[in-house]
A = this chain, B = another copy of it.
Amino acid sequence: MKIAIDAMGGDFAPENIVKGVNLAKKELSDVTFQLYGDGAKIRQFLDDETAIEIIETTEVIDFHDDPVAAIKSKKDSSLVRAVTAVKKGEADAVLSAGSTGALLTAGLMLVKRIKQVSRPALMSTLPTADGRGFDMLDLGANTENTAHHLVDFAILGSYYAENVRGIEKPRVALISNGSEESKGSPTVKEAHEILSAMTEINFIGNIESRDLLSGGADVVVTDGFTGNAILKAIEGTATVLMKEIKSAIMAGSVTTKIGGALIKKPLSGLKDLMSTDGAGGAAFVGLKAPVVKAHGNSSELAIASALKQIHKMLESDVSGKLVKHFENMDK
């Protein structure tokens, strides 16, 4: 299988991207890595060129570019060329740590959505206390969603959790302002009714956002505006708390500082839990092939784990299965 990689996208590109490929290559022996970008710069960080194809591109889309305009004007950018490779069948999937907006736009325009999927969504695997994790979507590909969109998200997320994360009959839940069936906006109530009647997914009802990190569901469905707000609230709270713990210890007595030094190890384990290094990227689900966005500030470990995630997506053919599922719904 072939994975197209935007080697120039992200805060630490091409260094972390290429080093991530070096790492992933050791584990993924059946993958050809296509690196799109400035060949000379890419080669600075590349261990060797086995299983590597370097495709020279001359432009880079950065975070300040307007996504839609950039896709049209920067045809020879590493991002557009990498996505185009999937469209042309020269690659099976694409990874970028560049502009989210540009990748979403290019994915939608070039890879295209599965015909019967109303709206693609951005989905990430987030950590839970028990290490099992949960997939949440939509994280912001859309700013408004109908009940029908939410139902499609539930199917997309369920297939992903089952095929890529290996969870049998994943528990799918809908974000609402209460766990009772009667709770929610009109849109959420309508989605709840449709999902309750579906046999192909294991819908467990509403979930409140306070029960996410404790593992209340395997797949969490919500509209893109709310999903984005929840994701960033979790990130912000974790960041502020870890910082406060650190500064409380540093501002404390000598005793406290010694205590802080002694618990450094378990606390760093906690940091791992909240870290994105092992979680892979955000998948833009509902398209005909895997399109994955890694964090802009991804470490080489994060890039390697996103590549392993894509490998699982290709190996399990989750996109192909979804195409078939939605085709059958049409009949």
A interface vs B, CB < 8 Å?
129, 140, 143-144, 175, 177, 183-186, 188, 208-214, 222, 224-226, 228-230, 232-245, 248-249, 251-252, 255-256, 258-263, 265-267, 269-270, 273-274
Contacts and interface: CB of A to CB of B under 8 A. Distances in A.
A244 B273 contact: yes
Contacts of A248: 263, 266-267, 269-270
Contacts of A241: 237-238, 241-242, 270, 274
Contact of A144 (B129, B185, B230, B259): B185
Nearest to A144: B185
Contact of A263 (B210, B244, B260): B260
A211 B236 contact: yes
A243 B228 CA distance: 25
A210 B184 contact: no
A256 B249 contact: no
Contacts of A235: 210
Contacts of A214: 236, 239-240
Contact of A240 (B129, B185, B208, B255): B129
Contact of A252 (B237, B265, B273, B274): B265
- Most B Cβ at <10 Å: residue of A209, A211, A249: A209
Nearest to A182: B66
B229 A175 contact: yes
Contacts of A234: 233, 236-237
Contact of A210 (B143, B239, B261, B269): B239
A265 B273 contact: no
Contacts of A177: 140, 143, 224-225, 228-229
Given A249-B266, A263-B256, A210 B185 contact: no
A213 B244 CA distance: 11
Contacts of A261: 259
Given A213-B240, A241-B274, A256-B263, 12 more contacts: A143-B183, A175-B229, A177-B224, A210-B236, A233-B234, A234-B237, A245-B267, A245-B270, A248-B267, A248-B269, A252-B263, A252-B265
Contacts of A185: 143-144, 225
B228 A244 contact: no
A222 to B, nearest CB: 7
A224 B214 CA distance: 24
User: What 5 A-B pairs come out closest when comparing CB atoms?
Assistant: A259-B262, A210-B236, A248-B266, A210-B232, A259-B263
